[in-house]
Structure 1
Amino acid sequence: ININSVLGHLVGPVNDVHFYAATKFAVTALTEGLRQELREAKSHIRATSISPGVVDTEFGYRMYSDDPSKAEALYSRHKNLSGLDVAQAVLYVLGAPPHVQIGEILLRPVEQQL
């Protein structure tokens, strides 16, 4: 299970995150490539990527360490995901029957635009 980001599927209009999005697009491609190789090898090993939107963590404050008000603005727009929300997605993937391939989970706050 790779923990990715919604930014691994789209490039938002915020200049601060374009290179971050590029790294997350790489995670999306790596996960899909791995899944294809595992299937070709008939390994029955599954690969998935979980891509959360805004999660209440210290990430925004680290990203905007030079301007904490940007992080505060990021986290105050709407009710964000929690670490527990992401953990529950991981448990869902792990709990799927062996014949079920969950290729991708995108989860984000209801009010998040991207």
Structure 2
Amino acid sequence: MGEIKKGNKAQINIELDASVAEGIYSNLAIINHSVSEFVVDFVNIMPGIPKNKVKSRIILTPQHAKRLTKALQENVKRFEQAHGEIKDYEQPPMPLNFGPTGQA
């Protein structure tokens, strides 16, 4: 990865692999931390699956975790300004409610 300087700002050249570009869906994040790192596990909880798996794990320094938190807060604010308030539960119901089972 090279770095390109443009004016006073440095730009980082980042490659996005096709398999990573597809993304991974998650409806649950589990966050743990130690003195030196934050660990965020992303899980996809689905009905009828007795044991769900961690789909992705991201490990961050405390400083990077704080910057990520700030960036998420800023982006949620912009989203809500454009699309209205995001409704959320005080505490999501566990297990996640997928509604009644359909029949075919």
TM-score (norm. length: structure 1): 0.23
Higher strand share: 2
- Higher-Rg member (1/2): 2
TM-score (norm. length: structure 2): 0.24
